[in-house]
């Protein structure tokens, strides 16, 4: 798979096969992602991969927090508003997904169900959590985005699926305590990873992208 194909075929997977990814493949995926660029080669990323019974136990703990309606307290505050153009794009995507799956994704009652599915890693055999030291500046969060994208592309090149999940960072204190991560670390992102279940309808939907003309200003 060349780089262009890898970028264009990557998608968020929301249903996985239970078979674990061999450890040597996971190691290769992370080693590849370590080649990501970062400000002054600071390499601000730290990675925790949870599998097996430990992953199931963490999943159970997170689901319990959701069932108790424990208020989220992420290390990175979630967006509370969007510019009109972006808000419109989000609304259109939700409408298309709702039509594709025959459900109303704007229904507030589905939020808890969605968070629960996230906390169960969509059935993936592994969960990846990305951390960085909380003393790092905002710029280092951008570097983490570069690392996360590299990791997901490297996984795709191996035929392994991923999905970046904001809901997995709703309760950072619980995650850090379970994974024995110091409180001085900032939880940036959760990623489910495993082999995609292509027979499941959850993986049939592909999001659209804006045209080049809508996002690029040409100065000639």
CATH of the domain at 46: 3.40.109.10
Could you tell me the pTM of the whole model? Answer: 0.94
In order, the DSSP letters of 7-27 are HHH--B---B-SSPPPHHHHH
Tell whether 1 is covered by a domain.
no
Whether residue 110 is predicted with pLDDT greater than 90 in this model: the reply is no
Tell whether 3 is covered by a domain.
no
Q: Which helix (H) or strand (E) holds 119?
A: helix 110-119
Tell whether 208 is covered by a domain.
no
Tell whether 163 is covered by a domain.
yes
Q: Which helix (H) or strand (E) holds 87?
A: helix 84-101
Q: What is the pLDDT of residues 22-80, one digit of tens each?
A: 999 999 999 999 999 999 999 999 999 999 999 999 999 999 999 999 999 999 999 98
Under DSSP, is residue 28 helix (H, G, I), strand (E, B) or coil? helix
Q: What is the pLDDT of residues 137-167, one digit of tens each?
A: 999 999 999 999 999 999 999 999 999 999 9
Task: Give the DSSP letter of residue 50.
Answer: E
3-class SS string, 148-197: HHHHHHHHHHCCCEEEEECHHHCCHHHHHHHHCCCCCEEEEEEEEEECEC
Give the chain's domain count: 1
Tell whether 164 is covered by a domain.
yes
pLDDT for 67 equals: 95
Structure tokens given for 49: 């991969």
Tell whether 86 is covered by a domain.
no
Domain that holds residue 156: 8-78+119-203
User: Cβ distance 173 to 211 under 8 Å?
Assistant: no
Q: In what order do the strands lie in the sheet with 185-194?
A: 46-51, 126-133, 185-194, 161-165
Task: Give the HSE-up count for residue 206: Cα atoms under 13 Å, Cβ half-sphere.
Answer: 7
Q: What is the pLDDT of residues 76-103, one digit of tens each?
A: 999 989 999 999 999 988 888 888 888 8
Q: Burial of 208 by CB count in 10 Å (0-12 exposed, 13-18 middle, 19+ buried)?
A: exposed
Tell whether 126 is covered by a domain.
yes
């Amino acid at each position: 798979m060349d780089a262009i194909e890898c970028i264009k075929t990557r998608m968020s997977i929301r249903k996985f096969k239970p078979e674990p990814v061999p450890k040597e493949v996971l190691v290769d995926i992370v080693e590849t992602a370590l080649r990501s660029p970062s400000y002054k080669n600071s390499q601000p990323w730290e990675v925790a991969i949870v599998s097996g019974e430990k992953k199931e136990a963490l999943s159970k703990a997170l689901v319990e927090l959701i069932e108790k309606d424990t208020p989220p307290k992420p290390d990175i505050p979630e967006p509370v508003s969007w510019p009109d153009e972006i808000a419109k794009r989000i609304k259109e995507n939700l409408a298309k997904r709702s039509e594709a799956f025959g459900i109303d994704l704007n229904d507030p009652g589905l939020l808890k169900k969605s968070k629960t599915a996230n906390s169960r890693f969509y059935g993936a055999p592994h969960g990846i959590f990305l951390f960085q030291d909380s003393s790092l500046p905002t710029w280092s969060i951008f570097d983490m985005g570069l690392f996360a994208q590299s990791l997901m592309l490297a996984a795709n090149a191996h035929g392994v699926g991923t999905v970046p999940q904001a809901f997995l960072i709703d309760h950072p204190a619980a995650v850090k305590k379970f994974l024995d991560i110091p409180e001085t670390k900032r939880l940036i992102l959760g990623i489910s990873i495993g082999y995609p279940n292509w027979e499941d309808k959850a993986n049939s939907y592909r999001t659209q992208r804006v045209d080049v003309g809508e996002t690029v200003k040409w100065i000639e």
